[in-house]
Chains A and B, each alone.
Chain A
Amino acid sequence: MAEIKNYTMNFGPQHPAAHGVLRLVLEMDGEVIRRADPHIGLLHRATEKLAENRTYLQSIPYMDRLDYVSMMMNEHAFIMTIEKFLNLEVPIRAQYIRVMFDEITRILNHLLWLGAHALDVGAMTVFLYAFREREDLFDCYEAVSGARMHAAYYRPGGVYRDLPDTMPRYELTKNRSKKEVEKLNANRQGSLLDFIEDFTKRFPNYVDEYETLLTDNRIWKQRTVGIGVVDPERAIALGMTGPMLRGSGVEWDLRKKQPYEVYHLLDFDIPIGKEGDCYDRYLVRIEEMRESNKIIRQCIDWLRKNPGEVITKDTKVAPPKREDMKEDMEAMIHHFKLFTEGFHLPKGEAYAAVEHPKGEFGTYIISDGANKPYRLKIRAPGFPHLAALNEMTQGHMLSDLVAIIGTQDIVFGEIDR
């Protein structure tokens, strides 16, 4: 019999299933993976170093570009750390807005994950459906911040501005008939909240649609059940958080365990898995989308009834009102100082984390009392997940590797930072 040796194979960095720029050096025994060595850093932009040279306010947009499929959540962790330093009181309305947009972001992220994961495993349709819904959510982002993705909407002490009363509408063009435009604008007649409410009414049906395509699908199950099993103790030791940890049956969610903003006032459940395989993590994330939908609806109800301020009145960290600046000298000075020098954090260090769609996203700031951080460390959830790839893929086939990359919900913006 001929002697067969292990051979090494290169995977990526330009590969559709690599979710960006992942390069893997695989040691293969036939079609079975013996060792996987991820080479990362192809998207490294030294965000942490850049932040050391910029004021806190200038760094917020960099946060959007970390995990570029769940933009606002990244900002949230960063500004929560700043608020911890300054002991800022955030208006309750701003807290509800943040929670609502956090959950919109979670749906955004999970939709992309679902579409990409299914596409990797061979189901094309889900991808197209998922992007249809993402479009609506991007419109919410756009209505509130002017940007479809990189919003920079959360600010220390609140959010940039209140929710708009009107939704942007489609306009008549050469290629669009009046009837079509009317149809497109049907749910855009009211305020942003009406639009989101309309979405939350439709969304559970959409999730059902995805589930009919996948949950009982024989091929989907063959590709995910029993693949990449992680037992709970190992998941904890490997630093897994978020759905990766919950998929293994560990009840851990920062929204429940260490509640921030108004999560303690809202009613929602935390789904957990049982087996710790790709299929369970799929079910957990699907259920999370339904829970997020529930949270959004509660936020809409509250926000409708309770108008009010959305950003702190402390003009040291938030810009004063335009009208005040015309009359009041001090407001003018505050505005100028805020956007040139920025605000200072007291000397010390703090860490704050949010339950990001991918896991625990935290920022650790060391301040020397200046207007810029002395050191910023971003704790990206994807980093330990990808580190566990070697362990998760050992003994699996090459095609299962793709399913495991999919289930880890890898985004290189946050891993490479």
Chain B
Amino acid sequence: MKTKAKLLLENVKKSLAKKIVRSCLRFDEVTITIKADETIDVLKILKDKPEFHFKQLIDLCGVDYLEFPEEQVNERRFAVVYHLLSLKNNQRIRVKVFLENNEFPILPTVISLWPVADWYEREAFDLLGIMFLNHPDLRRILTDYGFIGHPFRKDFPMIGKVEMRYDPSQKRVIYEPVSIEQRNNVPRIIRDEGFHNG
């Protein structure tokens, strides 16, 4: 029997054909990878075609693949992941876009399709430095006023770069380089496939 996700994947493949770079079905979830310059076209089809009807953008997030082991995902560092939900058909799809330029990652905004993208894109910009073309108000959203850097990039230290304290002589709050050292009590370990099977 074909599961719902499998049917969706087939339909998506039929409608988008060459626009899909890679597709996969795992854990009953459909993921498609598309090219950056076709983002708007593909998402528009997914939103408006009645068999997809993905009227809700559930989540949008940036990913930094800098330290991802092997393949390095075509040497492209940043990706944006869209999670779409169709209330009518009761299904989900994940759309992944790898950005062309590692130094200046940029992607057109999807606010015209889903207004909710506004804040999500601001968040991706703030935390990962991904730019969104034609975004009306691409300000930082979660970090402090005057923050420098993009904290969720893999080369940004977990403890941050500056710390803040009140300086009685200057009678104001000042920023200084962090004085603590990064601790890592549990190393990141990747085991070979099948390690846990004995």
Contacts and interface: CB of A to CB of B under 8 A. Distances in A.
Interface stretch (A90-98, A125-133, A371-379): A371-379
Contact of B63 (A250, A366, A388): A366
A370 B58 contact: no
A85 B196 CA distance: 14
A344 B58 CA distance: 27
Contacts of B58: 239, 241, 353, 360, 362, 379
Interface in B139-194: 140-144, 151-152, 158, 184, 186, 188-191
Contacts of B140: 41
Contacts of B195: 344
B119 A383 contact: yes
Contacts of A417: 142
A124 interface: no
A379 B59 contact: yes
A388 B26 CA distance: 33
B59 A55 contact: no
Interface string B49-79: 0000001111101011001110000000000
A352 B119 CA distance: 22
Given A237-B55, A239-B116, A379-B59, A252 B151 contact: no
A417 to B, nearest CB: 7
A342 B186 contact: yes
Contacts of B6: none
A326 B142 CA distance: 49
Contacts of A372: 186, 188
B104 interface: no
Dominant secondary structure of chain A at its interface with chain B? mixed
A377 B94 CA distance: 13
Interface stretch (A43-51, A61-69, A197-205, A392-400): A43-51
B90 interface: yes
A379 B141 contact: no
A53 B184 contact: yes
A375 B63 contact: yes
Contacts of A53: 158, 184
Contacts of B190: 344, 368-370
27 contacts: A41-B143, A44-B142, A48-B152, A49-B152, A49-B158, A50-B158, A52-B158, A53-B184, A84-B27, A237-B56, A237-B115, A239-B58, A252-B87, A344-B189, A344-B190, A351-B83, A362-B58, A364-B59, A364-B61, A369-B69, A369-B190, A370-B189, A371-B186, A374-B68, A375-B64, A386-B119, A387-B118
Given A239-B114, A375-B61, A388-B116, 9 more contacts: A46-B152, A237-B115, A239-B57, A257-B90, A351-B59, A351-B83, A370-B189, A370-B190, A371-B186
